[in-house]
Chains A and B, each alone.
Chain A
C-alpha cells in the first residue's frame, strides 16, 4: 500500500490527501460529538463551514483554473439558495426527506447553472478587470431583483409581483412564499453536517476529476495563454463556459445547503461582501490550490467565532490575522525563510530514511 502511494502520480497522491483531510475531519468531529466533547457553538458552525468550503472550491475553479476573476459568486449562491429552499418549502412536507432534500439540491444547482449560462455567454467575452466588474454587477442585480420579488400561491395558482405584497392579489387563504425584502421565512431546517460532508465529497470528486481531465487541461491552457490555446484549436468559449457553469452549479448547491440551515433567508445576505469573503478564502488558501481553499474556508469561518471573547477588538484582530496569514503565505521573502526552516528539519529527518533506501 505504502509503496503504491510512493509510485503514484503526484496529482493523484495530492488529491487523495485532500480527500483524506476531509474524511478524517468528518470522522474526528463525529467521534468528538458522539462523546459529547464539542460545544454547541462549534457544532452550529459545521454546516456553514461545509457551505463555504464548497463555495471556495467552486470559485477556485473560476479564479484558479480558468484564471478569471469573478466577484459575483454570492449571486449564484443566492439563486441556488432561493430556488432550492422554495422547492423545499413546497414539497418538504409531502415528500419523504430523502427524496425532497436531494431534489432541493438538484433544483438549486440547475437554476444556478442556468444563470451561469445566462451570465457566462455575454460575460466571458470579457476578461480581467472587465469581467470582475460585470460579475460584481450581476451579483447586485440578483440581490435587488430577489429583494423586490413577491411570490405567492393560492387556489387560483401562482401569483407574483415586483412592486409589493398587496399587488399580488392573493386570496385570503393564499400563502406568501417569497416576501420581498423579508425573503423566505419559516423554513424547516434540513441541513446537517453529514449532508454537508457528502456535498463536499461530491464537489471534490467532480471538480478534481474535471481539472485532471482533457477539459481541465484545456481550461488551464486558456488560463496560461489564451492566444496559444486558440492556435492549437481549443474552443475558448466552450471551455470557459464549462468551467464557469460548473462553478455556478456548485455555488448553487452550497446556497441550498446554507439556506436550509436557517429558518429565514434574505437576499441581502448575498451581497458583494459575501462574494469578496469567498474570494478571500480562495486567495488566502492559494489560488489554484483546492486543499488550500478547503482549509482557508474552514479556518476563516471559525476564526471570528473563536475571537468572540475579545469583544470590540474582534474584527480588528480578524483583519490583522488575515494580513499576517496573507504575508506568511505569499511574501517571497517569507516563503524563502519557510523553505530554509523546513529544509533544516527535513534534512535531519531525511538522512536515516535515505540510509534505509540504500
Chain B
C-alpha cells in the first residue's frame, strides 16, 4: 500500500513538473509563432523581426516583496502598452526574483544572461544592485535601475549602471535645502531606520546639509528592521525635545506608524518625508486623514494632472486594481526610456547585449526624457539622474504641489 502511495506521489510530482515545463514551452512556442506571423506582417514596415529581451530583477517574495511587485507590474504594463501600440512584440520582459539578496540577485542576473537578456531594468533594492552593477560592469551589460538609489550602485557599475530615481544623498540634501529655504521648521526631529541603507543614506546627507544651512536638529531617533512595528517611543522623544518639524526618511509603512503614534499623544508637528513616503494613502486600514498636511519630496504623484501620469495611473488601476506608487512609476519610465532610444534608432533588436550597452550609454548621457516621474530628465555620465524635485503636500487624500521657493 505504501509503495503504491509513494509511487503515486512521485509520479504526480514528476507529472506536475513536466506539465509546468511543457506549458512553459508551449506558451513560448505559441508566442514565438505569434511573433513571426505578426512580424511578417510588420516586417516590411518596421523591419523588426525579433523582440528586444529586457530583464528585470527584484524582490517579489520576502520582506521587500511590495517594492519588487510594484516594479514588476510597472515594467510589465509599459511593455504591454508598447507591444499593443506597435502591433508586434517590441519588448519581451522576463522578471526574476532576488528576495532582496545579493547572492540571489547575481544568480538571477546569470540566469537572465543565459536566456539572452539584452538590457537589464533592475534590481529594485540597493544592496543587490551594487553586486549586480559590478557584474554588469565586467560583462558590459546596460543596467537601468528604477529604484536602487544608493550612490554606491552607480559607482559599482563603473558607467554601465544608470538610475531612474534620485540618489539618497541627493534627496537628503534637497530636503534640507527645501526646509531651510521655506522656513518650514525651527527645531527638527528625525526618525530613521538605522538598519536600512536607503534611510541612513538620506539621513546622513540631510544631517550634513542641515548643519551647513543652520537648521537646528533637536532630536535624532532611530529604529531597526527588527523593531519597526511600534514607533511611539521615537515619536515621544521628538515631542519631548520640542521638535516642530519631524523629518521621516523612511518607507510609508513605518511612517504610518509614526503618524498614528503622534495622533495618539496629540503631537502635531509638521511631517516631511521623501519618495519612500509615496504609497501612504493606499495602506489598507490606515486613516488617511492622519496624513493631512504631510509633506513629501517625491518625483511622482498619482494625482498629477498631466496627460502621461493620468494615462499611466488609469492603465495601472485597470490592470492591477490599485493606485501605482513611485516604484511602479519609475519602472514604467525605465521601459519608456529604453523605448525612446529604440525609436531614435540608437539600438536595434539584432544588436548584441554588449553593443547595445555601448549605444545606450552614449544615448542616455545625451538625451532628454520625459515620463511619469518628471519632465526633461537627463543623466550624467556616472549614471545619476537630474530632474526637478517636487514637494507635495497631502490634502484630503490627494497630493497637492506646494508652491515654493527652491
Query: A166 near B: Cβ within 8 Å?
Result: yes
Of the candidates A43, A266, A310, A315, which one forms a contact with B110 in the assembled complex, judged by CB atoms under 8 Å apart?
Answer: A43
Residues A182 and B201 in contact in the complex (CB < 8 Å), given A264-B131, A266-B127 = yes
Residues A40 and B197 in contact in the complex (CB < 8 Å), given A263-B156, A264-B102 = no
A contact residues, range:
35 or more
Query: B150 near A: Cβ within 8 Å?
Result: yes
A-B contact pairs, 27 of them (CB 8 A): A39-B114, A41-B107, A41-B111, A41-B113, A44-B109, A144-B226, A147-B195, A147-B224, A164-B194, A181-B197, A183-B127, A185-B156, A258-B103, A262-B102, A262-B106, A262-B131, A263-B130, A263-B133, A264-B102, A264-B131, A264-B156, A266-B127, A305-B107, A309-B20, A312-B60, A315-B61, A324-B9
CB distance from A81 to the nearest CB of B (A): 12
Query: A314 near B: Cβ within 8 Å?
Result: yes
Contact A164 B200 (CB under 8 A): yes
CB distance from A82 to the nearest CB of B (A): 14
Query: B84 near A: Cβ within 8 Å?
Result: no
A265→B21 CA distance, assembly (Å)? 35
Q: Please, which residues of chain A bring their CB within 8 A of the CB of B48?
A: none
A313→B111 CA distance, assembly (Å)? 18
Q: Please, which residues of chain A bring their CB within 8 A of the CB of B35?
A: none
Contact A166 B204 (CB under 8 A): yes
Q: Please, which residues of chain B bring their CB within 8 A of the CB of A12?
A: none
Contact A189 B134 (CB under 8 A): yes
Q: Please, which residues of chain B bring their CB within 8 A of the CB of A84?
A: none
Residues of chain A having any CB pair with chain B under 8 Å:
39-41, 43-45, 48, 140, 144, 147-148, 164-166, 180-183, 185-186, 189, 258, 262-266, 268-269, 304-305, 308-310, 312-315, 320, 324, 333-334, 337
CB distance from A146 to the nearest CB of B (A): 10
Contact A186 B155 (CB under 8 A): yes
Query: B47 near A: Cβ within 8 Å?
Result: no
Q: Please, which residues of chain B bring their CB within 8 A of the CB of A43?
A: 110
CB distance from B337 to the nearest CB of A (A): 25
A312→B24 CA distance, assembly (Å)? 13
Contact B225 A268 (CB under 8 A): yes
CB distance from A260 to the nearest CB of B (A): 12
CB distance from A171 to the nearest CB of B (A): 14
B contact residues, range:
35 or more
CB distance from B357 to the nearest CB of A (A): 16
Q: Please, which residues of chain A bring their CB within 8 A of the CB of B111?
A: 40-41, 305, 308
A147→B108 CA distance, assembly (Å)? 26
Contact B194 A263 (CB under 8 A): no
Query: B2 near A: Cβ within 8 Å?
Result: yes
Q: Please, which residues of chain B bring their CB within 8 A of the CB of A45?
A: 107
Query: B354 near A: Cβ within 8 Å?
Result: no
Contact A44 B204 (CB under 8 A): no
Q: Please, which residues of chain A bring their CB within 8 A of the CB of B106?
A: 44, 262
Q: Please, which residues of chain B bring their CB within 8 A of the CB of A309?
A: 20-21, 24
Q: Please, which residues of chain B bring their CB within 8 A of the CB of A144?
A: 195, 224, 226
A166→B208 CA distance, assembly (Å)? 7
A266→B126 CA distance, assembly (Å)? 11
CB distance from B334 to the nearest CB of A (A): 21
A310→B204 CA distance, assembly (Å)? 41
Contact A333 B2 (CB under 8 A): yes
A309→B115 CA distance, assembly (Å)? 12
Contact A181 B196 (CB under 8 A): yes
A324→B126 CA distance, assembly (Å)? 36
Query: B152 near A: Cβ within 8 Å?
Result: yes
Contact A165 B127 (CB under 8 A): no
Closest to B129 in A: A264
Instruction: Name the interface residues of B126-185: CB closer than 8 Å to any CB of A.
Output: 126-127, 130-131, 133-134, 150, 152, 155-156
A143→B3 CA distance, assembly (Å)? 47
Residues A182 and B107 in contact in the complex (CB < 8 Å), given A164-B207, A262-B102 = no
Q: Please, which residues of chain A bring their CB within 8 A of the CB of B101?
A: 269
Query: B203 near A: Cβ within 8 Å?
Result: yes
Query: B278 near A: Cβ within 8 Å?
Result: no
Q: Please, which residues of chain B bring their CB within 8 A of the CB of A186?
A: 130, 152, 155-156
CB distance from A278 to the nearest CB of B (A): 14
Most buried by B among A180, A181, A305: A181
A252→B338 CA distance, assembly (Å)? 43
Contact B152 A264 (CB under 8 A): yes
Query: B275 near A: Cβ within 8 Å?
Result: no
Q: Please, which residues of chain B bring their CB within 8 A of the CB of A308?
A: 96-97, 108, 111
Contact B107 A337 (CB under 8 A): no
A314→B61 CA distance, assembly (Å)? 10
Closest to A148 in B: B194
CB distance from A342 to the nearest CB of B (A): 14
As a 0/1 sequence over residues 201 to 235 of chain B, the CB contacts with chain A under 8 angstroms (1 = contact) are 10110011000000000001000111000000000
CB distance from A92 to the nearest CB of B (A): 14
Q: Please, which residues of chain A bring their CB within 8 A of the CB of B131?
A: 262-264
Q: Please, which residues of chain B bring their CB within 8 A of the CB of A263?
A: 130-131, 133-134, 156
Known pairs A45-B107, A182-B201, A269-B102 / 9 extra A-B pairs, C-beta < 8 Å: A40-B114, A44-B107, A164-B194, A180-B194, A185-B152, A263-B131, A263-B134, A264-B102, A269-B103
A304→B24 CA distance, assembly (Å)? 18
Contact B113 A181 (CB under 8 A): no
CB distance from B102 to the nearest CB of A (A): 5
Q: Please, which residues of chain A bring their CB within 8 A of the CB of B195?
A: 144, 147, 181, 268
A262→B102 CA distance, assembly (Å)? 7
A205→B137 CA distance, assembly (Å)? 38
As a 0/1 sequence over residues 69 to 92 of chain B, the CB contacts with chain A under 8 angstroms (1 = contact) are 000000000000000000000000
Contact A166 B61 (CB under 8 A): no
Q: Please, which residues of chain A bring their CB within 8 A of the CB of B113?
A: 40-41
Q: Please, which residues of chain A bring their CB within 8 A of the CB of B225?
A: 268
* Minimum-distance CB pairs A-B, first 7: A263-B134, A264-B130, A44-B110, A185-B152, A40-B110, A41-B110, A182-B197
